[in-house]
Amino acid sequence: MSRGTVVMLHALGASGRSWQDVVRHLGSDVICLAPDLPGFGNNAAGARAGVQATLDWLIDYLGSQPEAPTILVGHSMGGKFATLLAARAATGARVLRDLRALVLLAASPPAPEPMDEARRAEMIRWFACGKASPRDAAAFVTDNIAGPLADDRRAQAIEDVERTTPVAWIDWLENGSREDWRDRVGVLDVPTTIVAGAEDGDLGEPNQRRLNLPHFAHGSIEVIPGAAHLLPYEKPAEVADVIRQAFQRGRGDTRADA
């Protein structure tokens, strides 16, 4: 893969470090940017309410980076932001002027995200009086994987949930995940690969086909067996392969180079 930039946007309750195994599999021929979104990871002080506020933060962040051929990757919550950034780029905005492709992993769609309302209420309760307890954070991770994670990766995923700010967590569940951006996104021309874990629930293949795929004129869906929702932790090698292939297609390169 020729040198370019991969911008990776993490899921709810995660941080930029959730991509570390994907970055390792991509190797040194690509520049990887994996920011902590406002309210998450080491960016807790940057907590902002609303999709637009985080989108503005991302536009400022990307505007500070050198221009390069770019693949934009979004996981779950980060998938909605990735789609909205791609839509902004399609209007001719300066941000992401050389966007080559989009990769969406178990992505929250431009439409309101499908979610069991009892589960939404339970997740909000976890943060209603402050940060989530270790028990609740562990339950969140367990509920979103198809099989065991390595001990260090499981501990890291749980810790990221615990250090998420209540304002970011609750605002996403109560507001951001419900915001409807369909009309503003429309149908995008950017080559897009939509990835679903075979054992994912609300954001599995059926809802990816129904809610995300119609927004992409050149979209395709891949399903990863043996995975649920936390794809960067569960199947990092497979995710890296999807990104690599997307980069090759985005530059019109059909060679199977590594």
Query: What is the residue extent of each domain of the chain?
Result: 5-250
Task: With a cut of 70, say whether residue 91 has pLDDT above it.
Answer: yes
> Domain 5-250 adopts which CATH fold?
Rossmann fold (3.40.50)
3-state secondary structure of 1: coil
Distances (CA, A) of 19 to 5, 33, 59, 91, 175: 14, 10, 20, 29, 26
pLDDT > 90 fraction of the chain, expressed in percent and rounded:
83
Distance CA 32, CA 172 (A): 25
pLDDT of residue 247: 86
Range in 81-95, 154-168, 193-207 the model is least confident about: 81-95
Higher pLDDT, 237 or 247: 237
Distance CA 75, CA 12 (A): 9
- The C-alpha angle 184, 188, 189, rounded to 5 degrees, equals 160
Task: With a cut of 70, say whether residue 141 has pLDDT above it.
Answer: yes
Digit-coded pLDDT (tens) for 67-79: 889 999 999 999 9
pLDDT of residue 234: 98
Task: With a cut of 90, say whether residue 189 has pLDDT above it.
Answer: yes
Task: With a cut of 70, say whether residue 19 has pLDDT above it.
Answer: yes
**pLDDT bucket at 46, cuts 50 / 70 / 90:** low
Task: With a cut of 50, say whether residue 258 has pLDDT above it.
Answer: no
Sign of the alpha-carbon torsion through 132, 138, 143, 144? positive
The two tokens of residue 120 are 């939404």
DSSP for 147-208 reads SPPPHHHHHHHHHHHHTS-HHHHHHHHHTGGG---HHHH--B-S-EEEEEETT-STTSHHHI
pLDDT of residue 93: 78
Task: With a cut of 90, say whether residue 47 has pLDDT above it.
Answer: no
pLDDT of residue 4: 87
